[in-house]
Amino acid sequence: MSLKERLEELRQQGLDEIKKSEDLDHVNDVRVKFLGKKGPLTTILRGMKDLSAEERPKVGKFANEIRDELKVAVEEKRQQLEKAVLDAKLVAETVDVTLPGTPVAQGQPHVLQQIIDQLEDLFIGMGYEVAVGDEVEQEVYNFEKLNLPKDHPARDMQDTFYVTPSILMRTQTSPMQARMLEKHDFSKGPLKMISPGKVYRRDTDDATHSHQFHQVEGIVVGEHVTMADLKGTLETVAQNLFGDQLKVRLRPSYFPFTEPSVEADITCFNCLGAGCSICKGTGWIEVLGAGMVHPNVLEMSGVDPEVYGGFAFGLGPDRFAMLKYGVEDIRDFYQNDVRFLTQFDQKG
Amino acid sequence: MKVSYQWLNHYLPLEENGINPTELAEKIARSSVDINDVYSPQNGLKKVVVGLVESVRDHPQADHLHIAQVKIADDTTVQIVCGAPNLKAGKKVITALKGAKLADGTKIRKSKLRGEESNGMLCALQEIGFTDKVAPKAYEEGLWYLPDDAKVGAPVFSYLGMDDTIIDTDVTPNRGDMLSIYGNVNDLAAIYDLKNSFTSHAVVENSSEKTADLISATVEDQDVAPTYKMRVIKNVQIQDSPLWLQIRLWNAGIRPINNVVDVTNYILIKYGQPLHSFDYDKLANHEIKVRHAKEGEKFTTLDGEEQQLKTQDILVCDGERPAALAGTMGGEETKVTDQTVNVALEAAIFDPVMVRKQARRLDLHSESSMRFERGINPETVEVALNEAAYWLSELAGGEVTKGIVTATEAPANSTPIELSTSKVNAVLGLTLSQEDLVEIFDRLKFDVQKEHDDQLTVYAPARRWDISIKADLYEEIARIYGYDNIPSTLPAGTRTLGGLNERQRFLKASRHVMQGVGLNQAISYSLLTKEQAAQFQVNNQDGEPMMLDYPMSSDHVATRMNIVAGLLIDIAYNVARQVGNVALYEQGRVFLPEDGQERPTEEEHVAGAVTGSLTAASWNQEDDDNQADFFTVKGIVERYLHNMAVEGEISYQANHNRADLHPGRCADVLLDGQVVGYIGQVHPTVAKQYRVPVTYVFELNLEPLLSADKRDKHYDLISKYPAITRDVAISVDQDVTNAQIVAVIKEIGGSYLKAVRLFDLYKGNFLPANKKSMAYTLTYQDGQGTLTEDQVNAAFEKVVEHLKQEVGAEIR
């Protein structure tokens, strides 16, 4: 058998054995057997010195080709077997992907907080500052500085929890308006602020009344603030909270701290004005009270009403949440049933 | 106020201009006062007609029933069985035909009553929708007789004024003028720019006697009754008022009584001027004196109730004897009755505040008191008194004596207000001309005087006593011009920088961290019982809460000094509804009264309460592993304090003395040695009171955290050299704390010691009873190079030695 034939035979044997291999160990054995230092190819290559100068390169070349071919075959086989092993392992690791995921702990902000946060973000974006006041207030700030003198019939509109004749649970967050008006330096521009927080009324709790609820009151006072600005601001709030197409309409009303005073209705977000059960067929929903700050309020806080003026408004997050989400009982907000709280977990 | 469309239409060309009641109501709401309701009394009624009772016979089978033959059309008479005692042949009555619908929804069918056929029903006013409060008393028990000229077979509604539409307005406290037909007519004439044909009737003084010879009137203090006027009408014949007058009253929600009382009520509605009629002959002295009551003075009002008076109350007296509680309610002794012959009529203005106070205190709110509280038009006191006298003469045949007795008289001045056109536009955001303004005030019938191009003087008439300053005129302009015509803009000019301040940002971040660790935000009631309010206080555990003076409910009487109590109430609410896993936090105010302080100090606190587990049970976890315990809550607090980046040393100290918490599972949270909060298990006795299962709570006072320095965000190079760890397990006495051991390790650990972590705690069978085993991993690392084994071993050995010496550790 010529050397060439011998090589050809080795090649065939090697390829056959590689092909037959069924596990990685065997592939390794084949590799050692044919390509190892003591293997036949090495032996043949060592024996090349006995060949003629003419034959030597030919045989050498052929032997190297065979060695490379076997190396490639071994490597391919090895990869093939490794993949099979891995595939089998992965199959064995299969899970039922329809099993429920492991619950994670995540807390939600209260729905009223979400409304307040949304309003805060909106007003901050329009250049308002946020002022938070005390919940136990002086009668003077809660009423008198807001143009609600003692024995004014409008005080009947707000039944009050008194602590002493001069101290009470605030019935509105507007006391902060008086305090901020007193402090504000108008030479640095207008005062634009909102005041969110808890307020209290002496009321019996039922589905639509609560002795505790929330308000976000706002005030803008400067040299050139108009009622048209109030209308535009309220429209922005309504659209931000309830939807783009909504309009605001104003109706005359009465609050001692504003003159003119208005009640603001928005287009019913449910029927867009067509009339439905939510708006009682009117196409409008009453959402808030507002008006132009009463000159007495300005004067009592040391602001010249001849120079400065502006508007104020009071928003009710509880009412907004009830309207927006169809919550039927205001007590739901303060009983904190986890099943209620976690309904409002949509982000963004 | 229930305003009749037909009455308005009498004075204003509404129908003529195609203004229907619904549209009118909408306009009132948009321009003047709010609307409660718009309704027609005939709504919902059907087939209710005029029937003529032709004959009546007794029902053979029933004592109280009668059988009437009732003519219901020219050629139709039907038999109707009726139980009314006042059923009479020859009377025209309200007849519900077969197929009729009544006010309560009843449908009338042909039926047999005790064997007799009945083809309808004869009705009382209540059956067609009159309330008991309004239906005249005389007909309470029986049929209402329609006028004799009513057309048989025609619907009854027009005969009873039920085809009118009532606009029920909700008048704000400032618009007292809208509590009268007069006020409504004036306002609507301006709003629609319509011709106003409101008419008053002048009195004819047809008696030869002089009023002043019959009665005198004095007012002790003019502030109490700025206007007080009287007339006397003699020889009245008390009888029912004519139907037109009764209709006016019942459509306004007032019950017709007799012609004298009805006239006063008619004037009340027409002018908003309450009148009071005294039986002249029951006044012994005929000296009317208006004065304050004496403390404790007693007076029986015409409802028969004896009232206890206070000095601030106002009495109208006959001599010294009280005859009426001014503006609120008349007296039993001097009221007009069926026997009254001579009437003394009072028209006055009383002090609104005093009337309000006495009506409120005695719970005697009435149509009159409501109007006195909101103001009376001084222009029409005398007009109203005169018209009342006119009607008493017309309807009761009374003789009006000559002259009015006047004790006091408030001037009916108009108020001049200077108005600048440019300022109007600057406030309202409009571009009105001076002519536009003049036109608006012309419509309102306010006198206007042009001062110069920009300046007007507007004279607000006395009938609009709500108008006294410029801003009031801005409102008039805006509502007449139309709020819908005001554009929508945003405040222009100086840009302002909005944003939260540092405190607000901290409080917002605080809420986010709490949510991040798995707690749901609760908002509970701040008003609690006294006991709940005082429990679980962070600092002064004996502090007493602030109490409300006049609470509404026994559950809400004191301001909270802690937040945990509210959360426990929430947990109880959940647990009672089978929600077993509850993890809540709340952030808000607590109220801490302090000596010498008018108001309590308000502190911002955050608190949490957890029962069950933080996450829902899962198929791949043991339930027990999930149950919250002391360390769950401690983990939350640790994480929270870390996130809030408070600089300073946080430590946890066992506190066995917090009464509301488990004595062995309670720690104070300290910041640089000051107690800022606590963590603990709710004491089982307290848990039982709140009806909550095992619950772990914490509360932190945020004020010291807010004022503490904060760790800034900064960057530390992460060492690229390997860390080396050593584990040590030691056995120590039970009472040695983790904190003590860690303190020793850290003290002596050397500069390469980066972290100490407890990885095992063991107490039990393999140790003596008073011992426990604790195992820690110590991590060493150097930022500058690779540590050698020798370096680490040396540091570690030192730690081990000190543990032996300082906490009596045995190495295990």
Both B528 and B644 in a single domain? yes
Chain B residues lying within 8 Å of A334, measured CB to CB: 523-525
Residue type at position B508:
K
Q: Tell me whether residues B474 and A292 touch, CB distance under 8 A.
A: yes
Residue located via tokens 């009132």: B28
Residues B91, B82 contacting (CB under 8 angstroms): no
- The helix (run of H) or strand (run of E) holding residue B324 is strand B321-325
Are B314 and B228 contained in the same domain?
yes
- Chain A residue numbers with beta carbons less than 8 Å from the beta carbon of B523 are 110, 112-113, 333-334, 336
| Apex A41 CA angle, A36 and A45, nearest 5 | 115
Residue to substitute from B27, B32, B172, B455, interface A, most A β-carbons within 10 A: B172
Q: What percent of chain A has pLDDT over 90?
A: 54
Which residue is listed with tokens 């099943």?
A339
**How far apart (Å, rounded) are the C-alpha atoms in residues B756 and B748?**
12
Q: A199 vs chain B: nearest CA distance in angstroms?
A: 10
Q: Do B559 and A136 touch (CB under 8 A)?
A: yes
What's the mean per-residue pLDDT of chain B? Answer: 93
Question: Which two tokens mark B209?
Answer: 């006697």
- What pLDDT, on a 0 to 100 scale, did the predictor assign at position B265? 96
* Cβ–Cβ gap B470/A100 under 8 Å: no
The single-letter DSSP state of residue B155 is B
Residues with Cβ within 8 Å of residue A262, at least 6 apart in sequence: A230, A250, A251, A252, A253, A289, A290, A291, B483
CB B573 within 8 A of CB A335: yes
Of B73, B79, B27, the C-alpha closest to B49 is B73
Task: Tell me whether residues A338 and B581 touch, CB distance under 8 A.
Answer: yes
pLDDT in tens, B266-277: 999 999 999 999
Token pair 């290559």 is found at A45
In chain A, count H helices and then E strands: 12, 10
Chain B contacts in chain A segment 246-305 (CB below 8 A): 248-254, 259-263, 292, 294-295
Q: A226 to chain B: which residues are within 8 Å by CB?
A: 426-429, 489
pLDDT attached to residue A274? 87
For residue B354, give the nearest of B311, B386, B394 by alpha carbon. Answer: B311
The residue-averaged pLDDT of B471-489 equals: 95
| A146 vs A258: CA distance, rounded Å | 9
What pLDDT does residue A157 have? 58
Residue B386 and residue B434 in one domain: no
Characterise B499 by phi-psi region: left (phi > 0), alpha (psi -120 to 50), beta (else): left
Q: Distance (Å, rounded) from C-alpha A288 to C-alpha A240?
A: 15
Q: Are residues B542 and B611 in the same domain?
A: yes
B173 and B143 share one domain? no
The better pLDDT of the pair B535, A149 is held by: B535
Among the listed residues B96, B190, B187, B104, the one whose alpha carbon sits nearest the alpha carbon of residue B144: B96
What pLDDT, in 10s, does the model give residues B182-221?
A: 999 999 999 999 999 999 999 999 999 999 999 999 999 9
CB-CB neighbors (< 8 A) of A138 in chain B = 598-599
Angle between helix axes A227-242 and A111-125 (nearest 10 degrees) is: 140
Evaluate whether residue B495 is within a structural domain.
Answer: no
B523 with A204: Cβ contact below 8 A: no
Instruction: Calculate the dihedral angle through the C-alpha atoms of A61, A63, A68, A71, rounding to the nearest 10 degrees.
Output: -170
**Closest CB from B29, B523, B599 relative to A136:** B599
Chain A residues with CB under 8 Å of B600 CB are: 136
* Proportion of chain A above pLDDT 70, given as a percent: 98
Instruction: Give the containing element (helix H, strand E) for A87.
Output: helix A55-92
Q: Inter-chain contact A212–B526, Cβ cutoff 8 Å? A: yes
Q: Please check whether residues B477 and B511 belong to one and the same domain.
A: no
Is A204 in CB contact (< 8 Å) with chain B?
A: yes
C-alpha distance from B162 to closest chain A C-alpha (Å): 24
Which residue pairs, CB below 8 angstroms and at least 24 apart, start in B258-262? B258/B336, B258/B338, B259/B392, B259/B395, B259/B396, B260/B236, B260/B336, B260/B340, B260/B343, B260/B392, B260/B396, B261/B336
**Which positions in chain B touch A117 (Cβ < 8 Å)?**
508
Closest CA–CA distance from residue B633 to any residue of chain A (Å): 13
B391 CA to centre of own chain: 41
- In chain A, which residues have their Cβ closer than 8 Å to the Cβ of B353? 151
| C-beta separation of B734 from B772 below 8 A | yes
CB-count burial class (<10 Å; 0-12, 13-18, 19+) for B634: middle
* Candidates B496, B599, B615; nearest CB to A104: B615
Token pair recorded at residue B347: 């028209």
Q: Which residues of B touch A163 (CB under 8 A)?
A: 546-549
Chain B closest-CA separation from residue A314 CA (Å): 17
B308 min Cα distance to partner chain A (Å):
21
Minimal CA–CA distance to A319: which of A121, A112, A160? A112
Provide the total of helices (H) and of strands (E) in chain B, helices listed first.
Answer: 21, 39
Quote the minimal CA–CA distance from A129 to chain B in Å: 5
Q: Do B656 and B798 have their domain in common? A: no
Alpha-carbon distance of A138 to A142, in angstroms, equals 6
**CATH code of domain A111-344:** 3.30.930.10
Taking 90 as the threshold, does the pLDDT of residue B528 lie above it?
yes
d(CA A320, CA A240): 12
Q: Averaged over B91-113, what is the pLDDT?
A: 90
Name the minimum distance, in Å, from the CA of B589 to any CA of chain A: 8
Establish if B546 belongs to a structural domain. yes
Domain extent, residue B447, equals 415-461+468-484
Whether residue B745 lies inside any domain: the answer is: yes
Within-domain flag for B373: yes
Residue of B nearest to A191 (CA): B496
Q: How confident is the model at residue B434 (pLDDT cuts 50, 70, 90)?
A: very high
In a mutational test of the A interface, the residue from B549, B594, B603, B623 whose CB has the highest number of chain A CBs within 10 Å is: B549
Instruction: Decide if B524 and A334 are in contact by the 8 Å CB cutoff.
Output: yes
pLDDT over 70 at B494, yes or no? no
**Pick from A117, A156, A337: CB nearest B577:** A337
B691: left (phi over 0), alpha (psi -120 to 50) or beta: left
B491 lies in some domain: no
- A109 CB neighbours in chain B (<8 A) are 511, 515, 521
Q: Across the strands, what pairs with A168? A: A137, A162
Residues B341 and B393 in one domain: yes
Whether the Cβ atoms of residue B128 and residue B108 lie closer than 8 Å to each other: no
Report how far residue B429's alpha carbon sits from residue B409's, in angstroms, rounded to the nearest whole number: 42
Q: Any residues with CB less than 8 A from the CB of B805 and at least 6 apart, and which?
A: none
Length of chain A: 348
Query: Which amino acid does the sequence have at B317?
Result: C
Helix, strand or coil for residue B344? strand
> B746 in a domain, yes or no?
yes
Q: Which of B170, B466, B494, B582 is the best mutation test for A, with the most CBs of A within 10 A?
A: B494
- Return the pLDDT at A156: 63
What is the band of B343 on the pLDDT scale with cuts at 50, 70, 90? very high
Mean pLDDT of B509-532: 96
Question: Is residue A146 a contact partner of residue A178, using CB atoms and an 8 Å limit?
Answer: yes
> If DSSP codes are grouped into helix, strand and coil, which group holds residue A136?
strand
Q: What is the pTM of this model?
A: 0.86
pLDDT, tens digit (0-9, with 9 covering 90-100), for B116-156:
899 999 999 999 999 988 988 877 778 999 999 999 999 99
Interface test with B, best of A192, A205, A336, A342 (most B CBs within 10 A): A336
> Where in chain A are the domains?
3-92, 111-344
Longest dimension (CA), chain A: 130
| pLDDT of B112 higher than 90 | no
Q: Work out whether strand B66-73 and strand B46-58 pair parallel, antiparallel, or are unpaired.
A: antiparallel
Q: Which residue has the tokens 């057997």?
A: A33
- Tell me whether residues B496 and A295 touch, CB distance under 8 A: no
Give me the residue label for tokens 């005062």. Answer: A191
Q: For residue A161, how far is the Cα from the chain centroid?
A: 37
Residue B417 has pLDDT above 80, yes or no: yes
- Mark yes or no for CB contact B621/A225 under 8 Å: no
What total number of domains does chain B contain? 6
pLDDT tens digits, A181-224: 999 999 888 999 999 999 999 989 999 899 999 999 999 999 98
Half-sphere exposure of B507 (CA within 13 A, CB side): 20
pLDDT score recorded for residue A348: 67
What pLDDT, in 10s, does the model give residues A146-175? 888 887 766 765 689 999 989 999 999 988
pLDDT tens per residue, range B219-247: 999 999 999 999 999 999 999 999 999 99
Within this chain, do residues B154 and B176 fall inside the same structural domain, yes or no?
A: no
Residues B690 and B548 in one domain: yes
The C-alpha angle with vertex B735 and arms to B730 and B739, in degrees rounded to 5, equals 70
Do the bridges between strand A167-169 and strand B527-528 make them parallel or antiparallel, or are there none, so unpaired? unpaired
Q: Find the CATH number of the domain harbouring B739.
A: 3.30.70.380
| Cis peptide bond prior to A260, omega within 30° of 0 | yes
Q: Sort out which chain B residues have CB atoms less than 8 A from A136's CB and list them.
A: 546, 559, 591, 599-600, 602
Give A-chain residues touching B593 at CB under 8 angstroms: none
| Contacts with A335 from chain B: Cβ below 8 Å | 570, 573
Please compute the mean of the pLDDT values over residues B610-633 and round it to a whole number.
Answer: 88
**Do residue B542 and residue B666 come from a single domain?**
yes
**Residue-wise pLDDT tens digits, A29-86:** 888 888 888 888 788 777 777 778 888 888 888 888 888 898 999 999 999 999 999 9
Contact residues, chain A, for B504 at CB < 8 Å:
130, 132
Which one of B520, B560, B610 would you mutate to disrupt binding with A, by most A Cβ within 10 Å of its Cβ? Answer: B520
Residues of B in contact with A220 (CB under 8 A): 491
User: What's the CA gap between A213 and A219, in Å, rounded?
Assistant: 20
Evaluate the CA torsion angle A158, A163, A164, A168 in order and state its sign: negative
Which residues are within 8 A (CB) of B584 and not within 5 positions of it... i.e. 6 or more apart? A336, A338, B519, B520, B521, B522, B567, B570, B571, B608, B609, B610
Residue A261, min C-alpha distance to chain B (Å): 8
A227: nearest CB among B429, B499, B552 = B429
> Closest-CA residue in chain A for B576?
A337
B330 and B423 share a domain?
no
Between β-strands B520-521 and B145-146, what pairing exists: parallel, antiparallel or unpaired?
Answer: unpaired
**Paired sense of beta strands A129-130 and A191-200, if any:** parallel
Question: Percentage of chain B with pLDDT > 90?
Answer: 84
Q: Which of A90-104, A231-245, B1-15, B695-709 has the lowest mean pLDDT?
A: A231-245
Q: Return d(Cα B438, Cα B456) in angstroms, integer.
A: 9
Return d(Cα A255, Cα B174) in angstroms, integer: 9
**Antiparallel, parallel or unpaired: β B520-521 and B582-592:** parallel
- Cβ-Cβ pairs closer than 8 A, A with B, add up to 274
Is B217 contained in some domain?
Answer: yes
- In chain A, the residue whose alpha carbon lies closest to the alpha carbon of B474 is A260
Q: How far apart are CA B607 and CA B656, in angstroms?
A: 20
Residue B716, domain member (yes or no): no
Mutation pick from A199, A212, A335, A343 vs chain B, by most beta carbons of B within 10 Å, is: A335
Token digits of residue B516: 């991040």
CATH number at residue B618: 3.30.930.10
